[in-house]
């Protein structure tokens, strides 16, 4: 009896004690797009961003990238693209997807075109999976291009071994698919298919993945009972169908948002469904958070319905995210570089380089940290100061923290400056050269880290 009780209480501790959902607890995120890139052991998740306090989709302005190797400790690489980095767009940075194609990383996203207010499907490119991404314009031939998903087949059609790229999109009871041209900037109009008649309850947010040679199209849909959205799917022998409608695989659940949206990835041999809910905001339907649960198939290849769980992916007490914000990203990531330069001379930097030439008082680097709620973070800076000690001040929003001493260091090293507080929303963190204590120069900042801190740690 005693043994049974012990076993039962162990199960209880494991179940109640582990809470991996929502996956990201420091920032409001939605519309997750999960990927594993070639020659990279990390799992990547790209998301849209809900502004705290807004509780509507109209104020959505940018995207984030996250990575992990253990699904417990995550890195938030910060803002990777924003409306202000896209000349042709005016609003609605809604759902997106990402792709690796011919040696480059792409963000395929939707925003409303300035002046005419129509959704377009934008393409932005980066040399690195964490961005930031540079906009290239929108995809020609796609009308009302909300909720894009890109699927690159493994049919090795191109000489470099990559397969045919396809685009899927749709909103407001529409769902289309088409083959993309190789530059990803236009579709092949003759291949466009209206997929709605092949499916049921279609509303928006298509996502295509392949399992055992079959193509699965998953999407959030509305039954005649209407909102909230449930997740449905169909299966086909070819990417553009015809699809056989299969049914619902995420039904209504407690704390769901009005919308659902997500994608499927295989990581370390396991299939995972990423989607979103309103758990982090306590049920505010349009202030959402990313969720993840394992996805399983039965012997016939049908998706076994998912019941959203608190435990999520890993048996750990909780997930923990560190914001890793590259100093050199500047405006492209919502920050600012003032009277400093980006260099690559000192080796072993992370990202595309580091920021240096802090010659005059107030020369600075600023980074943007976006968080959901007022909370504490451990503040670390990776720097080098080969010529001697360097003295700087830090401004977080309007609060000045004085006297940050960076001891001499020939090479890049991480220094821990203790706990700082961030407010809900956008936080500008500025490191600037002190005007009260001399520095020896050659000071370089590689990145700034803000690590989530929990009260019971």
Q: Which residues bind ligand FUB (CB under 6 A)?
A: 30-31, 48, 57, 94-95, 146-147, 204-205, 259, 261
Burial of 141 (0-12, 13-18, 19+ CB in 10 A): middle
Of the pair 146, 434, the CB lying nearest ligand FUB is at 146
- Minimum distance from CB of 293 to ligand FUB (Å)? 18
Nearest distance from C-beta of residue 318 to ligand FUB, angstroms: 25
195 contacts 167 by C-beta, under 8 angstroms: no
Q: In this complex, which beta carbon is closest to ligand FUB, that of residue 92 or of residue 324?
A: 92
Q: Of 216, 176, 168, nearest to 197 (Cα)?
A: 176
Tell me how far apart the alpha carbons of residues 201 and 199 are, in angstroms, rounded to a whole number. Answer: 7
What whole-number distance in Å separates Cα of residue 335 and Cα of residue 45? Answer: 22
Q: Least distance from C-beta 203 to ligand FUB, angstroms? A: 8
Three-class DSSP category at 330: helix
Query: Please, what is the minimum distance in Å from the beta carbon of residue 262 to ligand FUB?
Result: 9
Q: How far is the CB of 258 from ligand FUB (least distance, A)?
A: 8
Nearer to ligand FUB, 109 or 404 (CB): 109
| CB of residue 404 to ligand FUB, shortest distance in Å | 38
Q: Whose Cβ is closer to ligand FUB: residue 31's or residue 97's?
A: 31
Q: State which H helix or E strand residue 5 sits in.
A: helix 2-17
Give the nearer residue to ligand FUB in terms of CB position, either 30 or 303.
30
Asked if 88 contacts 140 with a C-beta cutoff of 8 angstroms, the reply is no
Measured between alpha carbons, how far is 69 from 40 in angstroms, rounded to an integer? 10
Q: How far is the CB of 205 from ligand FUB (least distance, A)?
A: 4
Q: Tell me 340's DSSP state.
A: -
At its nearest, how many Å lie between ligand FUB and the CB of residue 58? 10
- Asked if residue 452 lies in contact with residue 25, where contact means CB atoms within 8 angstroms, the answer is yes
| Nearest approach, Cβ of residue 285 and ligand FUB (Å) | 10
80 contacts 93 by C-beta, under 8 angstroms: no
Task: Give the residue ranges of DSSP H helices in 379-430.
Answer: none
151 contacts 239 by C-beta, under 8 angstroms = yes
How far is it, in rounded angstroms, from Cα 345 to Cα 360? 21
Beta strands in 165-206 (DSSP E): 165-169, 176-179, 193-194
Nearer to ligand FUB, 146 or 391 (CB): 146
Match 């042709």 to its residue by tokens.
88
In this structure, are residues 371 and 446 in contact, taking their beta carbons and an 8 Å threshold?
no
Tell me how far, at minimum, the Cβ of 300 lies from ligand FUB, in Å.
29
Between residues 23 and 429, which has the closer beta carbon with respect to ligand FUB? Answer: 23
First to last CA, the chain: 35
Q: Cβ closer to ligand FUB: 217 or 429? A: 217
**Nearer Cβ to ligand FUB (204/363):** 204
- For CA atoms 153, 155, 157, 161, the dihedral sign is positive
For ligand FUB, the closer of residues 44 and 219 by Cβ is: 219
CA dist 155 and 323 (Å) reads 37
DSSP letter at 327 equals G
> Minimal CB distance to ligand FUB: which residue?
94
């Amino acid at each position: 009896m005693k043994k049974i009780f012990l076993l039962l209480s162990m199960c209880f501790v494991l179940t109640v004690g582990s809470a991996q959902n929502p996956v990201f607890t420091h920032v409001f995120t939605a519309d997750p797009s999960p990927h594993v890139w070639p020659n990279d052991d990390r799992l990547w998740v790209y998301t849209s961003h809900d502004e705290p306090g807004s509780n509507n989709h109209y104020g959505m302005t940018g995207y984030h990238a996250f990575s992990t190797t253990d699904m417990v400790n995550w890195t938030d690489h910060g803002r990777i693209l924003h409306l202000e980095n896209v000349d042709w767009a005016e609003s609605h940075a809604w759902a997106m997807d990402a792709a690796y194609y011919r040696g480059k990383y792409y963000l395929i996203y939707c925003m409303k075109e300035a002046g005419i207010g129509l959704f377009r499907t934008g393409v932005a490119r980066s040399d690195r999976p964490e961005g930031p991404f540079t906009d290239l314009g929108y995809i020609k031939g796609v009308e009302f291009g909300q909720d894009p998903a890109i699927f690159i087949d493994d049919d090795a059609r191109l000489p470099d071994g990559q397969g045919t790229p396809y685009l899927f999109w749709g909103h407001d009871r529409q769902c289309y698919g088409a083959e993309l041209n190789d530059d990803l900037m236009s579709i092949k109009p003759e291949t466009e298919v209206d997929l709605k008649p092949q499916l049921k309850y279609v509303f928006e947010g298509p996502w295509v993945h392949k399992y055992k040679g079959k193509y699965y199209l998953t999407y959030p849909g509305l039954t005649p009972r209407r909102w909230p959205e449930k997740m449905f799917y169909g299966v086909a022998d070819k990417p553009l169908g015809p699809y056989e409608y299969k049914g619902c695989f995420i039904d209504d659940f407690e704390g769901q948002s009005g919308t659902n949206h997500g994608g499927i990835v295989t990581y370390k041999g396991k299939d995972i469904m990423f989607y979103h809910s309103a758990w982090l905001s306590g049920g505010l339907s349009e202030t959402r958070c990313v969720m993840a649960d394992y996805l399983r198939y039965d012997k016939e290849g049908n998706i076994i319905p998912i019941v959203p769980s608190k435990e999520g992916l890993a048996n750990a007490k909780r997930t923990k995210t560190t914001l890793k914000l590259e100093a050199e990203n500047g405006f492209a990531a919502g920050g600012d570089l003032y009277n400093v330069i980006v260099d690559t001379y000192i080796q072993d930097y992370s990202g595309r380089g580091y920021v240096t030439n802090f010659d005059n008082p107030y020369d600075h680097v600023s980074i943007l940290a976006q968080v959901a709620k007022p909370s504490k973070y451990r503040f670390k800076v990776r720097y080098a100061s080969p010529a001697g000690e360097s003295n700087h001040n830090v401004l977080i929003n309007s609060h000045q923290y004085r006297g940050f001493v960076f001891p001499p260091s020939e090479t890049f090293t991480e220094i821990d400056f203790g706990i700082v507080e961030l407010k809900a929303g956008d936080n500008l963190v500025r490191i600037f050269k002190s005007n009260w204590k001399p520095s020896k120069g050659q000071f370089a900042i590689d990145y700034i880290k803000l690590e989530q801190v929990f009260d019971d740690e």
